Amino acid sequence: MKEGNKLNLRKATEEDLKEMMTIILEAIESLYMQGSPQWQNGYGPSEQQILKDIKMGNCYVLINDKTIVGLASLIPGIDPVYTKIKDGSWQGHDPYVSIHRVAVAKNTRNQGVASSLLKDLIKTAEKQGFKDVRIDTHEQNIGMQKAILKSGFVYRGTVFFPIPEGKRKAYQYLS
């Protein structure tokens, strides 16, 4: 990112879908090149899922000079996968939102875009009245783990998605 460029978070629209899917496909390829099984073999975010998130008002894009550089979904409500945390526990019992389907543009990786995106999503969640934000990632996704921790999340344990290689490290941010 160029010095002085301002990143802005906004709700995604259907017009953003093509650009968003390009970023997701880049992320799937990047994870593959790192040897990570996350999002592989058809288990990554689909266009149908992203479109559903957009229509529900839960999908956000991070913009730099009119270009989408990152995206994620902020999902309110109980996540069934998060109800069965192992080797740890969640703190508190307040309603929470979960951050899912995080991806950043290939040409912006290792420039702090992911942590900026997460911090903006935390602020958005707080404006919506949530004090508890949760997120997860695969244990081999070191870049995402670093962004999660840099954004103020605390490791809480392990959750398991009902998919191949579904084990994930789970994190929580409490404000």
pTM: 0.94
Predicted local distance difference test score (pLDDT) of residue 51: 98
pLDDT band for position 60 (50/70/90)?
very high
What is the rounded average pLDDT of the residues 2-31?
91
C-alpha dihedral, 110 to 42 to 68 to 174, nearest 10°: -70
What is the rounded CA–CA span in Å between residue 64 and residue 11? 14
What is the rounded average pLDDT of the residues 78-88?
96
Which DSSP state fits 88?
Answer: S
pLDDT at 1 over 90: no
pLDDT at 47 over 70: yes
Q: What one-letter code names the amino acid at 85?
A: I
Alpha helices in the chain, H assignment, sequence order: 17-33, 47-56, 113-127, 142-150
